[in-house]
Structure 1
Amino acid sequence: MTKKRYLMYGSQLYALAILRPLQNAIIERGDEVAWFFDGPGAEHLQAHERHLQSVEEVKTFDPQAVFVPGNVVPDFFPGIKVQVFHGLATDDTGKKGHYRIRGFFDLYCTRGDEETCRFQQLAEKYKHFRVAQTGWPKLDPLFSETQDADLRTQVGIDVKQPVVLYGSTFSPSLTSAPYLYETIRQLSQQGDFFWLVTLHPKTDPELVARYRGLAGKNLRFFESHQDIMPLLRAADVMLCDTSSIAIEFQMLDKPLVTFRAKCPGHQQIDVHACEKVEAALKKALQRPEELMKATREFTQSLHPWNDGRSSQRVLAAVDQYLARGRAGLKSKPLNLLRKWKMRRKLGYYRLF
């Protein structure tokens, strides 16, 4: 049987964590996979991961499908273009533009019922793509039963304090990192909590350096390219802002504290003052019944899958699309300006 070929297309470091579970599922099927980056990420590929460095190499590889956790993809790459998303947040949870159709994709692999319904309505409106509810590949390791049983040992800590995971988005209007630095510094010195800290890859390098400098007896700093799944599993509570990493944490039925979240709800304890962070964390650690009930209802609506097999469902959806072809679909929009920008970015101006 001829092997199928798949391309992982990345523009940001987060592509690695999102697409690697999908890569594992492809390898398990005995098929081939390669990576192409138009931004950071290639420097963190492992020895066994195949890296294509030019458009010509991609065309020679000739993938049947290209998986994309971003908003755009070169239209001149072979294969159907598959949107797998770069976060769980939607327009309703603080991610503006989640449902914007940019005209690049043939297949949207959605997660929850509401998201699927919204994209299906858009598919019926535009008629140039299909939708399949599959779950999100990035979360597969979160629900894997093969993880190390001693998760704190896995991330290199052996502590008796409650473990707080702090993560932040990079957007200037949403990030909490500039405001919470001093609070986290003081609380880590105080020693009531042990801190795991990681920041978005696009965070200001100077701010990253300041947080990195907090590492000590009660705080571990993790670089943005490192796997955060063990951190999510090892922590007891999370402190965050408007970042989809917070939703990933809640998938584990754990309490969340947010700082000035854009769209706070009953599923989190949201505070607006730095001096209220400590009390909020202590309250969250008690796992109030109302908070945890709201958390479960919220995560179930966004991502009902917890079997760790979303990658397999994505591949099955691609198989179905390829078998059917574009029958019944209209041509995708010309999208000339966006396509030109992509060609200019990659320095590729040939028609074929």
Structure 2
Amino acid sequence: MADYLLFATERYALPILQAMADALQAQGHRPHALLVDGAAGGALPGVPSLTLHEAVRLRPTAVFSAANWVPPFIAGAKVQLFHGFNVEKREDARGHFRLRPLFDLYCTQGPATTVPFQALAGRHGFFKVVETGWPKLDPLFRPDDGRAAALRAPAAGRPVVLFATTFSRRLSAAEPLFDAIAAQVASGERYWLLTLHPKCPSDVIARYRGLAGPNATFVEPEQLLAAERAADVLVADTTSVVSEFVVQHKSVVTFRNRAPKPHMLDFDDPARLPAMLAEAFAPPATLGAALAAYSDAIHPWRDGRSAERVLAATEALQAGRLGALQRKPAGAWLRNLQIRHHMGYWRLR
């Protein structure tokens, strides 16, 4: 039995860490949570939340991070779980494939992520890469625990649409699509599940909350995975929710996606939303083939056991079965100081 630490900086990371907590507990280990910044005040059921000082004293076997960074002064292997898929919001050097000299192991989601990170690992040598699948998606491939059914129940047999957005005002569909979505909700033809990135402007979130009623409900970040399972079609923008939804081989309608692909039904005029929804609910065969191909590239694992593979990869790293790690680059000490400053922690232990 060993102690492990689960680290998050945003609420939307909690479902990722919950899957890890479940796998750790099933194998007799003790998970603990360190939730900071946007995740502060959140919780993982059945997992004790620690202060930073308590986390340091814990000296965990490993730290599983569902964030872009991790406190390097906490003991244990530092494992990157990712907080989303690569949706090409930024150039590779600034986005998904940006290296931070903090992690010992990257647990990748599928070939589209694994191959680039393996190339980077071969070039730099201070981390290892194992394709495990993404723990957050494990519940999608297991029997429903009732949460998806509960979200779908008010639809009373109507088709269900999920609306999700990214937070960047430049890329978000939340404001330009509000009137079109409000009209769809008012019609009652379909039932809507509405969720916005927690970093969206508070006034925009309030407007969408105001649409809740007999034809719609507002979904909190912790409910997102259940909503993805409950919905028949997704309306979104450049959010990584698109990729999460696609692995179910369900249709996705995207508004001004930054990098539209064959598996998306992309449009740029809010007035076209009704027509795009009609196509999504009666998709051509070519769209189904594109959905399957993209899903296999980003996340071919469909057994609901990605969290178990993450734990196995971490144990292999610590046992030396993945080979020796080179020292972190010289700039790692500066990043350590920056994180200590951000977290207000200057003790040596």
TM-score by length of structure 2 reads 0.94
1:104 paired with 2:102, answer yes
Structure 2: where are the runs of 5+ without partners?
Answer: none
SS at match of 1:104: coil
Cα distance per residue 1:28-79 (max 9 Å; x no partner): 001001000221334231562201112x211221101101111111110111
Distance 1:196-1:154 versus aligned 2 partners, 3 A rule = closer
2:304 maps to 1:317: no
Match of 2:68 among 66, 71, 75: 71
Q: Does 1:59 align with 2:56?
A: yes
Report how many aligned residue pairs link the two structures.
347
Q: Which amino acid aligns with 2:295?
A: T
Distance of 2:17 and 2:128 partners within structure 1: 20
Task: For 1:329, give the aligned amino acid.
Answer: L
Residue 341 of structure 1 and its aligned partner are, at CA, apart by 1.7
User: Within the alignment, does 1:170 sit opposite 2:167 as a pair?
Assistant: yes
- Cα distance in 2 for residues equivalent to 1:22 and 1:254: 26
Q: What is the Cα deviation at residue 145 of structure 1?
A: 2.3
Q: Is the Cα–Cα contact under 8 Å of residues 167 and 199 in structure 1 kept in the other structure?
A: yes
Deviating more after overlay: 321-330 vs 69-78:
321-330
Q: Does 1:345 align with 2:345?
A: no
Q: Which residue of 2 aligns with 1:131?
A: 129
Aligned counterparts, 1:221-232, within 5 A: 221-224=218-221, 226-232=222-228
Identity among equivalent positions (%) equals: 38
Q: Determine the structure 2 residue equivalent to 1:259.
A: 255
The partner residue of 2:177 within 180, 194, 197 is: 180
Alignment of 1:193-272 (within 5 A): 193-224=190-221, 226-272=222-268
Contact kept in structure 2, 1:211 and 1:221, CA below 8 Å: yes
Aligned partner of residue 199 in structure 1, secondary structure: coil
> Hey, what's the Cα distance between the residues in 1 that align with 2:258 and 2:13?
24
In 2 relative to 1, CA 263–112 (structure 1 residues): closer, same or farther, beyond 3 Å?
same
> Whole-Å Cα distance in 1 between the matches of residues 4 and 99 of structure 2?
23
Opposite residue 139 of structure 2, the aligned amino acid is P
Task: Tell me the amino acid that sits aligned with residue 289 of structure 1.
Answer: A
Residues in 2 aligned to 1:332 and 1:72: alpha-carbon distance in whole angstroms: 15
CA offset at residue 93 of structure 1?
Answer: 9.2
The range that moved more, 321-330 or 196-205, is: 321-330
* Mapped partners of 1:108, 1:292: distance in 2: 31
Question: CA offsets, 1:168-218, max 9 Å, x none?
Answer: 000122111011111111111122221110011111111101110111221
Length-normalised TM-score, structure 1: 0.94
Whether the 8 Å CA contact 2:172–2:238 is kept in 1: the answer is yes
Structure 1 residues 270 and 324: alpha-carbon distance in aligned structure 2, compared to 1, 3 A threshold: same
- Return the alpha-carbon distance in structure 2 between the equivalents of residues 306 and 102 of structure 1: 29
- The Cα of 1:327 is off from its aligned counterpart by 5.3
- Is the contact made by 2:88 and 2:258 (CA closer than 8 Å) also made in structure 1? no
Distance 1:104 1:299 in 2: 29
Which residue in 1 is equivalent to 2:280?
284
Code of the aligned partner of 2:168 = S
Query: Amino acid of the residue matched to residue 9 of structure 1?
Result: F
**Structure 2 counterpart of 1:307, one-letter code:** D
The RMSD of aligned alpha carbons is 1.9
